[in-house]
Structure 1
């Protein structure tokens, strides 16, 4: 997988976070569509963290193979 794909996936995850923030009802965060939006935000954050971990592990692997 190349770097461009990772950047596109991270941008999509950030866009999903932005969209889900617009769905939040700050008066009742744990009711109705707000709970679904919160789940979407957490899932997108998890996806970003996993992608960043994968990118870091690829860099480490490349450095190990280089030496």
Structure 2
């Protein structure tokens, strides 16, 4: 499960980097830039959810040991 979450985190970070390259810094809220902002925000949320999931699995493993 750890490898799977690592792959998903890597893909989400790659999407963030890709969307940063799509931004038009002169008109940040027009055209494809708004789509890039949405992509950055959604990928960031995905990373946060995956990290929370990883921490919860670690907590679950420690509580099952006792």
- TM-score interval (norm. to shorter): over 0.9
- The answer for unaligned runs of 5 or more in structure 1 is none
TM-score normalised according to structure 1 size: 0.96
Stretches (4+) displaced over 4 A:
none
User: Does the alignment pair 1:59 with 2:54?
Assistant: no
- The answer for unaligned runs of 5 or more in structure 2 is none
TM-score normalised according to structure 2 size: 0.97
What is the deviation of 1:3? 0.6
- RMSD between superposed Cα atoms in Å: 0.5
- Which residue in the other structure is 1:11 paired with? 10
> How many pairs align?
66
